[in-house]
Structure 1
């Protein structure tokens, strides 16, 4: 685990299991310690849809759903399987073309344990990383240089080791997504491989898209050119 770096995740760009499909379409990959796959899907409000043998079959089912729903659906297909990691069993959950990392769900999943997720939204340059501990968001970022959470700087040293620069832009050619996979391994002890995804027995379910709900405002975190951090709070009526 301690040696995980971006170099160990170059396979995501040439995945025989089909992870390139997830990168192109958008995905969420979440890891939660001590929560079974059926428990995770239950907490997400999923309607059970049986098993999928590997990522290839999960992709086929996702494509069939897109065609049946004419490329728009009110639910998203999630697959979850058990994996070994630091401190015992973890559940790996993978969503294609949707988001399983909503704050409320991640807070619930991480109550009394640890949850880590990363995602992109497919076709747009938005890539997120979240680390939750005991129901609390510890560190999140879209760009490594702009972090938030209760401990936004705690992972800085590890980020540098895996290939992310928390203070400046990465070197040209750096694979930020591969580095995020490595950062996730550092926090979970779970090494995600092409073979793991190809052979995983995914318990699947239809997860409803989270309603917008009510909210009062947002907090925007800002880091200036000198590394000084501040934040601005905006009420709903100001947006």
Structure 2
């Protein structure tokens, strides 16, 4: 198409105003915004649990091997318990050992009054006194116990108790520690000591042995020397009131 002078100018002017010949702008797809992924929160550092303090080791009981050789008599007395022949006893503790004579006398008094003991079954009446006693119960260090027992021809080897013409000698080691053959605490083993030696005092001179596997050992068995299949036992009578016996040791 050919335009002359002014007509051409008019055409281009009109085209600009109407945009007829303007090329359309390309459509731009907006770039999506990147959304930052949330950063994971760091796991909390676990607070270390405090380590438990080690339990203190049990205090070891120390038993002196020897003592002064002199004794303190418990200044205590009580009512007679049981039935039968009255036997008055006093309690003595060797000087210099950490045992109260009065407390020991109280414990022995309770042992002799136990419902499975001699007094509860007519084998004697026992009364704690501080003087004019029929026999004495002495708690002595191993060396002193050996000396007192050996005077009666009994060798206790620093380990055993004995019964003498004056009464009962209790080895402090056994009183405090019990026995490795006895399945019970020393407090229970003390019943066996007193019941065994007082058994001799009331006239049971011979020892007994185990009556059979699994049965209760007689109180007159020397249980510290071995149970021979029996169960350790500290009382002359069982809970039903039956006397626990066994074959007599020749």
* TM interval, short-chain normalised: under 0.3
Structure number with the bigger relative contact order (C-alpha 8 A, sep ≥ 6) is 1
Q: Which of the two has greater helix per residue?
A: 1
Work out which of the two has the higher radius of gyration on C-alpha atoms and give 1 or 2: 2
Per the normalisation by structure 1, the TM-score is 0.23
Q: Which of the two has greater strand per residue?
A: 1
